[in-house]
Structure 1
Amino acid sequence: MMPTPQDELAVQRAYDQVADTYANHFRSTEPELPVDLGMIELFASFLPSGKRVLDAGCGAGRMMPVLETFGCQVEGIDLSPEMIRRAQQDHPSFPSQVASISALPFPDGSFDGVFSWYSTIHSPGPDLPRILAEARRVLRPAGLLLVAFQTGQGVRDLSEAYRRLGHNITLRRYDRTPEGLGRLLTSASMTEVARLERAAASHERTGQAVLIARV
């Protein structure tokens, strides 16, 4: 029997509890491979001068300095107030605020790029069309969306890993195929321009993917 789809309130509560543990463990790009960072550089290279970019689901803000390195003017949003507290504490030079990736608090056409680095992985499949539509809405003409996620199919329970660290939470992850997400991007009137799909590295259990699409 499939579990009840996870809602945003459950995700917010989980990350509020684990924010300091997560932020202290992942301070920069410790989990990323060079090829992953290469996709971020490629994303930035496609953007025009100025490169206003939204880190949509920024967590504690660890990727905002990376985007800045590639010439982006970055600001972030995250569902978790505690994650935003850490983002503002650890990366005070970047604007950040509490908001949902499914209801972005910005006017149409506000950004050259939307950067979704593993921020859709806790959203059930039926939520993705709305999330992608919001990303498209805030993008300028010819703007770009980058989406990174774990590959596969099905739902993974991440709760036990956090419980071993003393956090009594419930948190699930939804794995996806690049082909499936690619179809959703097409349905959202975006055109895929680059794709990375790779096997799991030694510190990972599943494969990873990064898709870049243009409005």
Structure 2
Amino acid sequence: MIALYKFPKAGVDRERLREESFARQHIAHKGAEDFSHQDFWPLMRRYLRKEKTYLDVQAGTGGWVIFLHDEGYRAEGVDPSRRVAHAISEYEPDIPVRVAEPTHLPYTDGSLDGIVAIGALESLKETSAALREWRRVLREDGTLFLQVPSANLLRRLTYLPLKHLEYLTKTALGQTPVFSAYLFTPAELSRLVRKAGFAVVDIIPHELPDTDA
């Protein structure tokens, strides 16, 4: 895994900015096509079952949990921000959304059929702890849908050297780095999920903007 860092301005509360940003980016501004056109959606749909219950971890703006609900799936969500969870519930009261950390889910062992973690794992420092927790709450035949940014060749040749230069320059100037996200190779991700007790069924690459874009 490759760790990426940001250098926020002094006095900036990053968590508060996240809450305000997600509260503004309301799901009402998006349609089903924004999600159904994702190139990994056909793979997800192949494994999803309408009669089963799926949890959206780090629900954020509520995009995926509301999309799955509107598509007829039994979907629930969790997010560490009370304000963000409230915004989702306010828009769609029929969807259960709880305030919880992704490493400490308020579910009993083996109580969920699936977990959807789109853009979630990379933002967690304790990736292994999160994966073990997700394995705990899933049924024996449960399914985990992961989407993470890849440390592909293009990023290694262009983006990462620039980020490394930024890190060296700003730390030399006395600025404090703050963890932002991880990049994974397919092999690294496979090792992590297998170690947590999962079997890897499918891996597909797809294009995403840079994690801090």
The TM-score range, normalised by the shorter chain, is: 0.7 to 0.9
Q: Which has the higher strand share?
A: 1
- 2:144 aligns with 145
Aligned equivalents of 2:27, 2:71: Cα separation in 1: 24
- 1:58 aligns with 59
Distance 1:17 1:71, change over 3 A: closer
When Rg is computed on C-alpha atoms for both structures, the one with the higher figure is: 2
* CA-based RMSD: 3.1
Aligned equivalents of 2:40, 2:81: Cα separation in 1: 25
Unaligned runs of 5+ in 1: 5-9, 157-169, 207-215
AA matched with 2:102: I
- 1:35 aligns with 39
Taking structure 2 as the reference length, the TM-score comes to 0.72
AA matched with 1:87: I
Taking structure 1 as the reference length, the TM-score comes to 0.72
AA matched with 2:23: D
AA matched with 1:68: H
Aligned equivalents of 1:38, 1:69: Cα separation in 2: 16
Match of 2:189 among 158, 181, 189: 181
Percent identity at matched positions? 23
Secondary structure, in 3 states, of the residue corresponding to 1:114? strand
Distance 1:24 1:64, change over 3 A: closer
Q: Does 1:78 align with 2:67?
A: no
The number of equivalent residue pairs is 181
Aligned equivalents of 1:11, 1:95: Cα separation in 2: 26
Match of 1:13 among 3, 16, 19: 16
Higher relative contact order (CA 8 A, sep 6+): 2
AA matched with 2:131: L
Displacement of 1:86 in angstroms is 1.4
Aligned equivalents of 2:35, 2:185: Cα separation in 1: 21
Q: Does 1:128 align with 2:136?
A: no
Secondary structure, in 3 states, of the residue corresponding to 1:194? coil
Q: List 4+ stretches of structure 1 deviating above 6 A.
A: 153-156
AA matched with 1:145: L
Q: Does 1:112 align with 2:109?
A: no
Contact residue 55 and residue 76 of structure 2 kept, 8 A: yes
Secondary structure, in 3 states, of the residue corresponding to 2:94? coil
Contact residue 54 and residue 111 of structure 1 kept, 8 A: yes
Unaligned runs of 5+ in 2: 7-12, 164-177
